[in-house]
Chains A and B, each alone.
Chain A
Amino acid sequence: MVNIIIWTIAVVTVLGLLLALILYLVAKKFKVEEDPRIDEVEKVMPGANCGGCGFAGCRAFAEAAVKAPNLDNNYCPVGGNDTMTQVAAILGYEVKAKAPQVAVVRCNGTCQARPVVNRYDGFSSCAVKATLYAGDTGCSYGCLGCGDCVAACQFGALSMDPETGLPVVDEQKCTACGACAKACPKHIIEIRPKGPRGMREFVSCVNKDKGPVAKKACANACIGCGICAKTCTHGAITVEANVAYIDPAKCKLCRECEAMCPTGAIHGVNFPKPLDKDAVKERIKLRQQKAKEAAAAAAAAGAPAVAIKKADAPAEAPATAKKADAPAVTKPMEEK
């Protein structure tokens, strides 16, 4: 009996040692050489595996970052500049700081502004709803309200406002990973620079219908009238396919377009003071009058060819006039 036990222990021990030796040799022979920096980079990543960088997850990003010759095309929007500085330190690359970004909902068709014309009782999903028809309001471009973006957000930064029926972005939580923008079948969510102290100006509408049609569907719609583009002295606004777009790189946050927009489709957020529309309008009117007078005076002075040129490009004159009474809010831009 004792013999059997001793033999068993002996055989198992020898077998174990033998197999361990084989395993050791095999591991040695087939070892996969992996850059140790991949693990290091992965450690400093946020670990959300959200895919906001364009790779399948944080490890995939780390592998790509280690392989790439520089970090120009690899940027983690979630970790932001802090994470990227750490990654750059590990890899010995230089990192270009990017302005922090945030998701912006480009639809302000609230329940009051955009009356419901039919009732949807199908499966509650924007993607499904979008395959079936234009939506339950007269606007075929706006928010469908089923909250696919909320479901897509891994950071809890989005929620549906029951009063407006529109998604609301929590700026503190939003990492600008872009998952919501991808999930929205109507493409109303845009990832935009957060702006200095969070201040930004954007057109909160993507309706491409002509003015009267858009206006009929939604009181807050951009009707493509182009007043904003004419008012803007920085050339930041373009109107294409009946929708205005503010280029965040050119916008100086003067809020003149917001004051002039007849439907209230242009939104400014996080400004310290509420917008005094009348004062701004008065300012613009005065400036335009001055420009007109200047043009008339130039025309009277002679050289008609020059006068025509000036009259054609009134934007030149107001730009100089504007500098004198430029609002304080342009200052933060200079800090950048």
Chain B
Amino acid sequence: MGKRTFSIGGVHPHDNKISRECRIEPLPLASTVYISVAQHIGAPAVPVVAVGDKVKVGQVIAEPGGFVSAFIHSSVSGTVKSVGPRADLAGRPSVHIEIAVEGDEWLEGIDTSDTLVTEIPSDNKAILDKIRLGGVVGLGGATFPTHVKLSPPPGSKCERVIINGCECEPYLTSDFRTLLEKGEQVVVGAAILKQVMGGVPCTIAIEENKPEAIAHIREVIGKLGYSGIEVMEMKMMYPQGGEKQLIDAVMGRQVGSGALPISVGAVVQNVATALAVYDAVQKNKPIVDNSVTVTGECFPHQANLLVRVGTPLRYILDYLGGIPEEAAKVISGGPMMGRAVANLDAATVKGTGALLLLTEKQTRRAPESNCIRCGKCADACPMGLEPFLLNKLARAKDWDAMEQQAVQDCIECGCCLYSCPAQIPLLDNIRIGKGIVLGNIRARAAAAKAAAEAAKASADAKK
């Protein structure tokens, strides 16, 4: 049987996994960390510590600011120095909690040993609570609070849990190293997720360019004796790690426009998230660190580091010998979806998976020329959109037409831009339209809700 992949679009850039042999090593603590309260999709967390407070590793320093939000924990022990706005990776000010590091004292009750705990608690509600209290968010990039994803709306039924180990972005190797070095924990984490979703089958999807990981995880599953968890070897294709693409690849089902994966019976979690779930449930350990790949052809000291949340980027790069002369850009994330870092003094967040250093030559954009109607972008789009058309509509500011063309389904994977021979900034323009269309949709929903409430109130008043 041929290896599976998703059915429409996709590109296949060279994978460049040059840091694949580097073991995950813990980064020594920085002297000061800056922990953002907006590390997840949804409402920012609300700080619950004041300047001068002593905190320990794993202590809650900010509480969820809404239903879709997450706990934030201190990643170090020390004293809170300030709580206030600070420029994030994109240079935009957001509230950060500054903590001066003093020693490395963990909160009581957190198991910091390496012993593998395979006994899974039987109470699903308690597990979900632990995931929520552990501040677990999707570490595949979207940082959507995991407990929300694991609480499907009533009436929907989960049929399969998919653990995403594709790591389809070039250069990134942190998930690969996690699978190799913490395979047992990931598999137990997968078993927990499987149990929470009602014991449905679980698939760990890994791309074919990681044969060691595939063999290792198969061995671990055999050793731990889990049934219902299988490894699926995937054909290499970008963006296979996209949620909707992976469901299509694994289950052969397509998630409708604007619908959630649960509508086709799927729940997708990243490998790093599975590990975080294991830590939170089995070890009481909230997310205080995550593995970060630091790589790039121009960077001599490739590494996969276990970095405490809130560590300044400059500290990480300096630890590895500083930024080389020829590096022109530092990108947070992979080369396809990652964004150039505007501010090296910014700190890592839970979702920071990689720092990629690229040279001037690698990042230079060729001048834009005219669209030659080759259709490569439409062929490459994994969401079945027509990027050339969306680009034109965005330039004409025809937002309604863009909505009709389903611009809101764009996952910003960059396949169109990657495949365009005319170097047209397709994604740049589409992203503007997507932002405005999503805003329009939200405004309409809010207006409809307000109108419904007003109608209800007047009906009540008539009674």
Listed in ascending order, the chain A residues whose CB lies under 8 Å from chain B are: 117-118, 121-123, 125, 127-128, 131-136, 138, 140, 209-210, 213
Q: Which chain A residues border B91 with CB–CB below 8 Å?
A: 117-118, 133-135, 138, 140
* B 93-110 binary contact with A (CB < 8 Å = 1; else 0): 100000000000000000
Nearest A residue to B435, CB-CB:
A131
Compute how far the CA of A134 lies from the CA of B93 in the bound complex, rounded to whole angstroms.
9
Of A118, A125, A210, the most chain B CB neighbours within 10 A belong to A118
Counting contact residues on chain B (CB < 8 A from A), the size range is 20 to 34
Please give 14 more A-B residue pairs, beta carbons under 8 A apart, in addition to A132-B90, A133-B91, A134-B90.
A117-B343, A118-B342, A118-B343, A121-B364, A122-B425, A122-B428, A123-B425, A128-B432, A133-B90, A133-B92, A133-B339, A133-B340, A140-B91, A209-B85
Known A-B contacts A117-B343, A209-B85, A213-B85; A134 and B363 likewise in contact (beta carbons under 8 Å): no
Nearest A residue to B92, CB-CB:
A134
In the assembled complex, the CB of B374 is this many whole angstroms from the nearest CB of chain A, namely 20
Known A-B contacts A134-B92, A135-B91; A127 and B432 likewise in contact (beta carbons under 8 Å): yes
Kindly count the residue-residue contacts between A and B in the assembled complex, taking CB atoms under 8 Å apart. 59
Q: Is B23 an interface residue (CB 8 A)?
A: no
Q: Is there contact, CB below 8 Å, between B432 and A131?
A: yes
In the assembled complex, the CB of A18 is this many whole angstroms from the nearest CB of chain B, namely 43
Q: Which chain A residues border B90 with CB–CB below 8 Å?
A: 132-134
Q: Is B365 an interface residue (CB 8 A)?
A: yes
Compute how far the CA of A131 lies from the CA of B363 in the bound complex, rounded to whole angstroms.
19
In the assembled complex, the CB of A217 is this many whole angstroms from the nearest CB of chain B, namely 9
In the assembled complex, the CB of B295 is this many whole angstroms from the nearest CB of chain A, namely 21
Q: Is B431 an interface residue (CB 8 A)?
A: yes
Q: Is B429 an interface residue (CB 8 A)?
A: yes
Q: Is there contact, CB below 8 Å, between B92 and A123?
A: no
Compute how far the CA of A117 lies from the CA of B346 in the bound complex, rounded to whole angstroms.
13
What are 23 contact pairs spanning A and B, CB under 8 A? A118-B342, A121-B363, A121-B364, A121-B365, A122-B425, A122-B428, A123-B425, A125-B428, A127-B432, A128-B428, A128-B429, A131-B432, A132-B428, A133-B91, A133-B92, A133-B339, A134-B92, A135-B91, A138-B91, A209-B85, A209-B93, A210-B84, A213-B93
In the assembled complex, the CB of B412 is this many whole angstroms from the nearest CB of chain A, namely 10
Q: Which chain A residues border B11 with CB–CB below 8 Å?
A: none
Q: Is B87 an interface residue (CB 8 A)?
A: yes
Q: Is there contact, CB below 8 Å, between B425 and A134?
A: no
* B 118-130 binary contact with A (CB < 8 Å = 1; else 0): 0000000000000
Compute how far the CA of A125 lies from the CA of B394 in the bound complex, rounded to whole angstroms.
13
Q: Is there contact, CB below 8 Å, between A134 and B432?
A: no
Compute how far the CA of A169 lies from the CA of B330 in the bound complex, rounded to whole angstroms.
37
Listed in ascending order, the chain B residues whose CB lies under 8 Å from chain A are: 84-85, 87, 90-93, 339-340, 342-343, 363-365, 368, 425, 428-429, 431-432, 435
Q: Which chain B residues border A140 with CB–CB below 8 Å?
A: 87, 91-93
Q: Which chain B residues border A118 with CB–CB below 8 Å?
A: 91, 342-343
Known A-B contacts A121-B363, A127-B432, A128-B429; A134 and B85 likewise in contact (beta carbons under 8 Å): no
In the assembled complex, the CB of A224 is this many whole angstroms from the nearest CB of chain B, namely 14
Which of these, B84, B340, B428, contacts A123 with CB under 8 Å?
Answer: B428
Compute how far the CA of A132 lies from the CA of B332 in the bound complex, rounded to whole angstroms.
13
Q: Which chain B residues border A125 with CB–CB below 8 Å?
A: 428
Main secondary structure of the interface of A (DSSP, over half): loop
Nearest A residue to B90, CB-CB:
A133
Q: Which chain B residues border A121 with CB–CB below 8 Å?
A: 363-365
In the assembled complex, the CB of A6 is this many whole angstroms from the nearest CB of chain B, namely 53
In the assembled complex, the CB of A129 is this many whole angstroms from the nearest CB of chain B, namely 9
In the assembled complex, the CB of A131 is this many whole angstroms from the nearest CB of chain B, namely 5
Nearest A residue to B426, CB-CB:
A123
Q: Is there contact, CB below 8 Å, between A133 and B342?
A: yes
Q: Which chain A residues border B84 with CB–CB below 8 Å?
A: 210
Q: Which chain A residues border B92 with CB–CB below 8 Å?
A: 133-134, 140
Q: Which chain B residues border A123 with CB–CB below 8 Å?
A: 365, 368, 425, 428-429
Compute how far the CA of A127 lies from the CA of B430 in the bound complex, rounded to whole angstroms.
11
In the assembled complex, the CB of B413 is this many whole angstroms from the nearest CB of chain A, namely 16
Compute how far the CA of A258 lies from the CA of B339 in the bound complex, rounded to whole angstroms.
41
Q: Which chain B residues border A210 with CB–CB below 8 Å?
A: 84-85
Compute how far the CA of A127 lies from the CA of B90 in the bound complex, rounded to whole angstroms.
15
Compute how far the CA of A134 lies from the CA of B342 in the bound complex, rounded to whole angstroms.
8
Compute how far the CA of A136 lies from the CA of B87 in the bound complex, rounded to whole angstroms.
12
Closest 3 CB pairs of A and B: A134-B91, A133-B90, A123-B425
Compute how far the CA of A209 lies from the CA of B84 in the bound complex, rounded to whole angstroms.
11
Compute how far the CA of A127 lies from the CA of B434 in the bound complex, rounded to whole angstroms.
12
Compute how far the CA of A122 lies from the CA of B90 in the bound complex, rounded to whole angstroms.
14
Compute how far the CA of A133 lies from the CA of B340 in the bound complex, rounded to whole angstroms.
9
Compute how far the CA of A214 lies from the CA of B429 in the bound complex, rounded to whole angstroms.
30
In the assembled complex, the CB of B126 is this many whole angstroms from the nearest CB of chain A, namely 41
Nearest A residue to B394, CB-CB:
A127
Q: Which chain A residues border B429 with CB–CB below 8 Å?
A: 123, 128
Q: Which chain B residues border A128 with CB–CB below 8 Å?
A: 425, 428-429, 431-432
Q: Which chain A residues border B425 with CB–CB below 8 Å?
A: 122-123, 128
Nearest A residue to B423, CB-CB:
A123
In the assembled complex, the CB of B392 is this many whole angstroms from the nearest CB of chain A, namely 15
Q: Which chain A residues border B339 with CB–CB below 8 Å?
A: 132-133
Of A117, A122, A123, the most chain B CB neighbours within 10 A belong to A123
In the assembled complex, the CB of B404 is this many whole angstroms from the nearest CB of chain A, namely 19
